[in-house]
Chain A
Amino acid sequence: MPRPVEKLVSLTINGNEVQAPAGMMLADAALKYGDVEIPVFCYDAKIGPPVGACRMCLVEIEGIPKMQAGCSVAVTDGMVVHTDTPTVKAAQEAVLEFILINHPLDCPVCDKGGECPLQDNAFGWGGGLSRFIEPKRHFEKPLALSPLIAIDRERCILCYRCVRYSQEVAEDFQLVLEERGADTFVTTFDGHPYVAPFSGNIIELCPVGALTSRPYRFRARPWDIEQAGSVCTLCPAQCNVSFSVRDERVLRVLGRDHEGVDDGWLCDKGRFAYQAIHVDERVTEPMMRDGGELRPVTWELAIESAAKLLSHAGANTGALVGGETTNEEGVLLTHLMRETLGSNDLDSRPGGALDLELLRALNAPKLQASVPDLQYAHAVLVLDCEPVDDAPILDLRLRKGVRHHGVKLLIGSSRPSALDERAAHSARFAPGCGEAFAAALGAELAGQSSASLAEAAGADPADVVALATQLREAGEEVVILWGERLTAGPRRNEGARALLNLADQLGLNDRDGAGLLEIPSGTNSRGLREVGVLPNASIGLGDAATVGRDAEQIGEALAAGDLSAVILLHSDPLLDQPSSALWQRALGKASTVIAHAAFLTPAVLEHANIVFPAESYAEKEGTVVHPDSRVQRLRRSIARQGETRAEWALLAELAARIGNDPKALTCSMVSARIFEQVPFYAGLSLDLIGGVGIRWSEREAAASFPAAPAAPFTLDAPPAAASPNGLLRLGSFRSIWASPEVEASPALAFLHPRQRVEISPGDAARLGIAHGENVTVASNGDSVTGLAHIRAAAPDGTVFLQTSIPKGSAALLEGPLVEVKRS
């Protein structure tokens, strides 16, 4: 459903004429447009429509004999509202006295004290006296609602926020209220711990100290901490966060509501993985390999040795750049590689270099959908990605769109999606066959026969027809949310063409509220491409003077001895690259491996000669680009831990020692240089980006985006999906919890994934595998083991394994077919 058109109405609040958009709730309108605060407990616009549970917000409206709940009444033209009459005052005092009847008032030991809406409302609107002398209700406290959240049921004021969040926002349906009346309490339905990807949000929602964060419990009071706004860089969703800092330590992460990015929510990774900043496992000093082991060394020695090794390797150096790299670091790395060492072998995409023309076409500003478009489009097609794993917060946005705005959600993926049950239609295709599937959809939309293409994709032709019909009938505004997987691997260019044709069929180009939205593999993948951290592009997606090797070719060249040195900037090829075997060989052969890493992940631990400590995201400054083209700014929130140094400065220093000083004195100097050199960023500045970021594709300078070829492209026939015949197709996915930060955070460690083998009940029965059993998956002599996970929704003939985990990653296997057996 397209965005609602705002119509203004005028109403009178406490004698003042106020203009507010029709349909807005009175409590919101009064605060935002009338500067009048109506106290609330249970209402929060971001949870959805009001339920009127607490009655804190009573106001008088002329013409209505009884008082009304300000949170549940929409403003209308000519409404006359009073919020400060004696009747309202008496009602507020009575409601607060009533709410406090059963409240233990243990503020001094309560973690919410000092930032508690109940304290604030009682202070601002309460009568100050209670007539209740009877005993209060008692519960055992505090209990662990989950390993992350503590619940104190005595303090709960039964506002329903957490339960509504679980039922209507996260839709994990775990939290419920049990019992009736004064005995009511919040719990999970069957008493199991509340573990969900977005559970932490209820801590921030709870208006009292009933739900508190266990890692943060009692660490500080609001007056002990400072809030520092920045951006979470643990996944491409780049949620806006605020760090609570005490004594140069991040003690918790709160959301910094941004309608255009995160809608006010965070995932549990973003909320709790800050702990990894302050663990002992983190690398906080430079290290060098000495006698087979990494040992701490001085900065001077590390830099001098790195400079010597790199100038020795010269043009025989390759570089892999991980997604957490900022644009500034990316640009300084290209300076180090291209202008200083004379090598063009650098890549930030794990899937192989995409044809530059196609990359431009996919990133063309007119074709970009924004995050809010997901919520207001007529239809959203989720193509070859799993939002909850790849960019978690978008999962909540899609659910909101479906629930509140009638978005028709369509899914085409190989692995069953968490969103399937909210989708109007979901289709499955064989892993790696996104190209054929997109081509089949495109053909069906164009009125051609799609059956053979659907067949090639390993999909049910009827599904393709159904999806195409839904897409055609949904309306004009269609957003395709697609995963980088679609344009990775040997047929990446064909995948891109099929996607562009599909977008063309749907007429997404230059249509407001419609377009493509990519979920890239790395946090700042989009920014890194735009500043030229690609083998075949220069800064601003211009043509590269010389085309270098892409990630896979760098691996092959290292293995073959054509390259001798490699820089791993926030990248661990054994975790990020599709083939572990290749990279084991490559790194084993490389004579110089220089890593910038925060943790000793497998490749760093086994192969790096020199390790430079990487800054954590709370220590970094610089800019990153959100997948929907929003340029955002990272700000340094704490002092760098240990001996960590600014990485942009380190990259500049390395280049300077090798003999080509980039003359970067501050990070903002590099930012300014980027804004000058990337034509479509022209006129940007750090001030302009500010705290909320700015979408470059919406600015005038976007007109100078390099021209790209227009669809339709002619497609060649995609190869048919491997037919399982006895073996199973190998599909892989990266879990939301697969990251070194999650592994290192004590609070989250219980979530860090171990390998699990997802198969369908049919295949499991055929192979005689029971749920939870140990199974071995083998191909070409390599094998990994994991626990069998029988998933009802999994398609027959395919097995799904995780990548990006240190042990037994799917990257050890070579598809497309693998053998699964009990071990």
Chain B
Amino acid sequence: MAWDPEKDVIEVIRGPQKAGGAGGLYRAFGETLRGLKTTFGQLRMGVDTIQYPEEKIPVYPRFRGRHQLHRFEDSGLEKCVGCSLCAAACPSDCIRVVAAENTPEHRVSAGERYAAVYEINLSRCIFCGYCEVACPFDAITMGHDFELSDANRSDLIFTKEMLLAEPIERTPLRAEGE
């Protein structure tokens, strides 16, 4: 069916047709100047913008950034035993653990089992920290790094090696009392 413009009339409401005079001048500049007064009034407050990424806000010690897996300092064994409790606790289901058995020749963790595969899909993680709470061995903790953007979604799946590696500290930590 062809469109019938008759049935769809748009009513246009226009401003006063005739400007000019003092009223017109005030309308053009008065209100603008009033706004500018507020703007310039704030000048004495100084600049508060943080020049990210050149400058970063320090985070609190308990800030929940990207995860880290840990090793025992003395033996160098992985703390994670691949129990999957973190995966069970994770509300966004972004941890994948595939466990395997330690052998005397190939000992990875202190327990009977270790995580052969440990992956966190950080594009799904909501940084709730439940995994950290669930872990019976303090093997996984939330780190401070929040700069996680990447050009490729699959690069956001962090593997065990990536999580175990010493993170490059890119985020300053807030000092005590700061």
Contact = CB atoms under 8 A, between A and B. Distances in A.
A114 B113 contact: no
Contacts of B137: 108
Given A108-B137, A109-B111, A224 B87 contact: yes
Contacts, number: 40
Interface stretch (B66-74, B76-84, B140-148): B76-84
A219 B112 CA distance: 13
A295 B88 CA distance: 45
A738 B39 CA distance: 90
Interface string B85-99: 101100000000111
Interface residues of B, number: 17
A662 interface: no
B167 interface: no
Given A108-B81, A221-B83, 13 more contacts: A106-B111, A107-B83, A108-B85, A109-B81, A109-B83, A109-B111, A113-B83, A141-B112, A218-B82, A219-B98, A220-B98, A221-B87, A223-B88
Nearest to A141: B112
Contacts of B98: 219-220
A746 interface: no
Interface string B123-141: 0000000000000110000
Contacts of B81: 108-109
Nearest to A142: B112
B130 to A, nearest CB: 14
Contact of A108 (B100, B101, B136): B136
A142 B97 CA distance: 22
B138 to A, nearest CB: 12
Nearest to B84: A221
A158 B83 CA distance: 25
Contacts of B101: 217-218
Contact of B88 (A141, A218, A219, A221): A221
Contacts of A223: 84, 87-88
Contacts of A109: 81, 83, 111-113
Given A108-B137, A218-B99, A218-B100, A224 B84 contact: yes
Nearest to B112: A109
Contacts of B97: 221, 224
Nearest to A111: B113
B170 to A, nearest CB: 32
Q: Which 8 A-B pairs have the closest CB atoms?
A: A108-B83, A109-B111, A218-B99, A221-B84, A218-B113, A109-B112, A108-B136, A223-B88
B99 A114 contact: no
A220 B88 CA distance: 12
A219 B81 CA distance: 13
A113 B97 CA distance: 15
Interface string A206-243: 00000000000111110110000000000000000000
Nearest to A221: B84
Nearest to B139: A108
A52 B100 CA distance: 37
A756 B101 CA distance: 36
B17 to A, nearest CB: 72
Contacts of B136: 107-108
Contacts of B85: 108
Contacts of B83: 107-109, 113, 221
B99 A219 contact: yes
A113 B87 CA distance: 13
B159 to A, nearest CB: 17
Nearest to B135: A108
A224 B88 CA distance: 8
A119 to B, nearest CB: 12
Interface in A105-139: 106-109, 113-114
Nearest to B116: A218
Interface centre among A108, A142, A224 (most CB of B within 10 A): A108
A635 B41 CA distance: 76
Interface string A591-631: 00000000000000000000000000000000000000000
Contacts of A106: 111
A218 to B, nearest CB: 4
Interface string A136-148: 0000011000000
B35 to A, nearest CB: 59
B93 to A, nearest CB: 9
A557 B98 CA distance: 55
Contacts of A221: 83-84, 87-88, 97
14 contacts: A107-B136, A108-B85, A108-B111, A109-B83, A109-B113, A114-B88, A141-B112, A218-B82, A218-B112, A219-B99, A221-B97, A223-B84, A224-B84, A224-B97
